[in-house]
Amino acid sequence: LYYVVISVPFFCSGLALALLFTRGGPHVNRLYAFDLVGAGIGCGALALIMPAFGGSGSVVFAAMLGLMAAAIFGFRTAKKIASVALLAAVGFFILAFFAGRVLPISITPNKTVPPAVPIYTAWNTFSKIDVYEAKTMPRSMTGRGARRFVFDAGTAATGMVDLRPNVREVLPQLDGKYDFTSNIAYIGKMRPDILIIGSGGGGQVLDALHYGVRKVTAVEINPIINDAIVNRMRDY
């Protein structure tokens, strides 16, 4: 059923293009050029639309563009339909700002998502990140608070320990209580320089500081997590 429903807009848009190319045969070179340019602009616009409107909002925004195209094509010969399409396009544009709440993306039961409401949610072009507040991290006996970044409604997760007032004061308190998992990497090394790829919420950075490294370079590909750690939740 999902595949049938998803195929409907592809079928309709393909039909519209086929009719356009058939009826505008003498100008097919220009029409196809505009088709390719439009597709390229659409791909580039995704980098702006997804973070601004989220997943549901981006789908609604795409529908709004389709309605605008219908209004433009029907303006000469089907003014009533064109007017309805134009009004619907305006309505869809407004809906795009609230689509995340009105048309939420459902989560399958096998996803391990905390029952709480996220304290922060953001989209980019390749992920949705929810941040949850937790009293303690799973398998942790630190007693300190923690936050959890959940990727794409449960596909993956990374944690962030409450390090207030600062990491230097908190580190001694974690000794013997926090699960420093990267210890094998530091055997036989005195104050090394460390590169961490996929630093997430900073767990391995905490490991590195615990083992007394000289310098840490942390690389994280997801800009939402970087923004949360460096700016939004820096104090945490």
Mean pLDDT by 10 residues, the chain (236 residues): 90 91 92 93 93 92 93 91 95 94 76 74 92 67 81 85 89 80 83 93 90 94 94 94
158, β-bridge pairs: 149
pLDDT of amino acid 8? 93
pLDDT of amino acid 226? 95
pLDDT of amino acid 188? 87
pLDDT of amino acid 155? 81
CA angle 225, 231, 236 (to 5 degrees): 85
**Whether the Cβ atoms of residue 75 and residue 117 lie closer than 8 Å to each other:** no
Tokens encoding 97:
């700002």
pLDDT of amino acid 175? 79
pTM higher than 0.75:
no
pLDDT of amino acid 136? 52
Tokens encoding 202:
């900073």
Q: How many CA atoms lie within 13 A of 213 on its CB side?
A: 21
